[in-house]
Chain A
């Protein structure tokens, strides 16, 4: 593991040059090279940044490339920098035995992205969780309601402008 963690590629061009045979990179390039906004390989993990409007199609593309298991979705709030929100989709391949990360960057004003439930139904709770804690909406989600916080809660606790001890 120590060997793989030392290899790092930063930027789309470096990844395309360093990992041209990577199945996820190949699949995304064959589908739509325009949608791949950025890429990096760090700590033994490949991160592909996908244009915001294309995430559902990108998910379907990597699923067809052998990344069959949706593992995790969460967000990072980079307040006050712009773009403010980052969505991280962690996808596992049972056959290739590897994780990849799809990343989507969203602006602070009404952050919204397509739901990937048609590709992986398991994204259901995860999208509700991100909506609940970050206030990012998912178009096409059948039941986008708060999941952890009470239904009448004001605000989204995991945003960086939300204080750790709540509003007093």
Chain B
């Protein structure tokens, strides 16, 4: 084993000759504005941040290792727990990766419901981001408003999957069950009123001079830095890089939907705020298109050896019972190979790398989570700026620690 050095920043002031001028400040891991258990070690000169060092790993649970001991279908509930604010995005990415290895064709209706729920997940995630971000800056009211709408989305998730947060609704080969009869009407009722709610948030925040001054020209990230540091999603688009996997490398029939990808060239916290607000409005449009054009048909692929049979069939047909028994006890073998599937999660580009050795358990599952890479840009954004801005920047890059530590 390589020898372990201390946290480098703690030894720094003497090393760079700054002597007593610089102070080391520890922020977290239990600081409310770090959105989880993130520890930031800051070297400050007065109130100016000289260096910043994120210390992560407090939530590491070894999910990648656990995946190797599970059947393919048993990994789906683990993916929920990675990012508890956008479970559907994780489910979708994992299922798409395994389906590519299996060369399964997913029925159109299942693909459209996946798109619909992915966009609701994006709204859910952005609502939590907006509420907590505004709360960090001092605008406490917005938090109560966004969580009111988030509750509506969680009720929709509960209606469709039986679970509010850990949905596990997408399965390899399709969906776990048909949505309830009034589900689409309930989604319609929600998105009919939702754009007004976004106006409400904007009335509280966009014109608010205190909020604006806390975000404008704070946490600047150039387009070149964003690409070099691996930043993706709204953070990258807020810096002027016009790339969105939903539009540029469509998956799950996103190519059939019309939507705009908001881009801003300002690169500051304010730009990231505006990009996410426009994204929420665009998500509503995608959900509307999905509701209007929802195709008819089955919700699972025609693959009896992979998809669990219908409950009624299982009770009445011998074949279905055998398949059910086989899938549950032995899993299903996936052809050997490796696949990398990327999707646009609410926080940026998410990627699942699945390696199969031809057995019923994945040989290796790796998650490329957007927050992990986005966190690398934190120092670039905060260096040379005021200490109080660090809180605004951490809020604006929208990290989820469960996803970083896995």
Q: B351's contact among A90, A125, A135, A146, by CB below 8 Å, is which?
A: A90
Tell me the nearest residue of chain A to B4, going by C-beta.
A151
CB neighbors of B among A37-59 (8 A): 42-45, 47
CB neighbors of B among A110-155 (8 A): 120-122, 124-126, 131, 133, 135, 137, 143-152, 154-155
What's the nearest-Cβ distance from chain A to residue B341, in Å? Answer: 9
Quick check: is B56 within 8 A (CB to CB) of the other chain? yes
Q: B342's contact among A68, A71, A147, A148, by CB below 8 Å, is which?
A: A71
Do residues B339 and A71 form an inter-chain contact, with CB atoms below 8 A? Answer: no
What's the nearest-Cβ distance from chain A to residue B78, in Å? Answer: 13
Of listed A125, A126, A144, A152, residue having the most chain B CB within 10 A: A125
What's the nearest-Cβ distance from chain B to residue A43, in Å? Answer: 5
Q: A5's contact among B100, B227, B342, B349, by CB below 8 Å, is which?
A: B100
Quick check: is B373 within 8 A (CB to CB) of the other chain? yes
Specify which chain B residues have a CB less than 8 angstroms from the CB of A150 in the assembled complex: 57
A98 to B375, CA, bound (A): 24
* Contact A146-B376, Cβ < 8 Å, known A43-B337, A76-B363: no
CB neighbors of A among B197-247 (8 A): 227-230, 241, 243
Of listed A1, A72, A98, residue having the most chain B CB within 10 A: A72
Quick check: is B145 within 8 A (CB to CB) of the other chain? no
A155 to B249, CA, bound (A): 39
A 74-103 to B, binary, CB cutoff 8 A, 1 in contact else 0: 101100000000001010101001110100
Number of interface residues of A (CB under 8 A): 51
What's the nearest-Cβ distance from chain B to residue A81, in Å? Answer: 10
What's the nearest-Cβ distance from chain A to residue B221, in Å? Answer: 13
Q: A70's contact among B2, B4, B230, by CB below 8 Å, is which?
A: B230
Quick check: is B180 within 8 A (CB to CB) of the other chain? no
Do residues B60 and A149 form an inter-chain contact, with CB atoms below 8 A? Answer: yes
Q: B100's contact among A43, A97, A144, A152, by CB below 8 Å, is which?
A: A43
Of listed A6, A90, A97, A122, residue having the most chain B CB within 10 A: A122
* Contact A158-B64, Cβ < 8 Å, known A120-B230, A148-B57: yes
* Contact A43-B101, Cβ < 8 Å, known A90-B368, A122-B229: yes
Do residues A45 and B65 form an inter-chain contact, with CB atoms below 8 A? Answer: no
Q: A148's contact among B337, B340, B405, by CB below 8 Å, is which?
A: B405
Quick check: is B16 within 8 A (CB to CB) of the other chain? no
Do residues B337 and A88 form an inter-chain contact, with CB atoms below 8 A? Answer: no
A133 to B353, CA, bound (A): 16
Quick check: is B248 within 8 A (CB to CB) of the other chain? yes
Do residues B65 and A72 form an inter-chain contact, with CB atoms below 8 A? Answer: no
Tell me the nearest residue of chain B to A76, going by C-beta.
B364
Quick check: is A164 within 8 A (CB to CB) of the other chain? yes
A2 to B340, CA, bound (A): 16
Tell me the nearest residue of chain B to A6, going by C-beta.
B103
Tell me the nearest residue of chain B to A156, going by C-beta.
B1
Quick check: is A31 within 8 A (CB to CB) of the other chain? no
Do residues B64 and A124 form an inter-chain contact, with CB atoms below 8 A? Answer: no
Do residues B69 and A164 form an inter-chain contact, with CB atoms below 8 A? Answer: yes
Quick check: is B290 within 8 A (CB to CB) of the other chain? no
Quick check: is B355 within 8 A (CB to CB) of the other chain? yes
Do residues A120 and B228 form an inter-chain contact, with CB atoms below 8 A? Answer: yes
Do residues A2 and B351 form an inter-chain contact, with CB atoms below 8 A? Answer: no
Do residues A43 and B339 form an inter-chain contact, with CB atoms below 8 A? Answer: yes
Quick check: is A157 within 8 A (CB to CB) of the other chain? yes
Do residues A72 and B340 form an inter-chain contact, with CB atoms below 8 A? Answer: yes
A120 to B226, CA, bound (A): 11
* Contact A122-B228, Cβ < 8 Å, known A2-B105, A42-B337, A158-B64: yes
* Contact A97-B249, Cβ < 8 Å, known A90-B340, A157-B65: yes
Quick check: is B372 within 8 A (CB to CB) of the other chain? yes
Specify which chain B residues have a CB less than 8 angstroms from the CB of A143 in the assembled complex: 8
Question: 28 A-B Cβ contacts within 8 A?
Answer: A68-B227, A71-B368, A74-B364, A74-B368, A76-B355, A76-B363, A88-B338, A90-B340, A90-B351, A90-B353, A99-B340, A99-B342, A101-B338, A121-B228, A121-B376, A122-B230, A122-B373, A125-B373, A137-B2, A144-B2, A145-B4, A145-B5, A148-B406, A149-B57, A154-B1, A157-B62, A157-B65, A164-B65
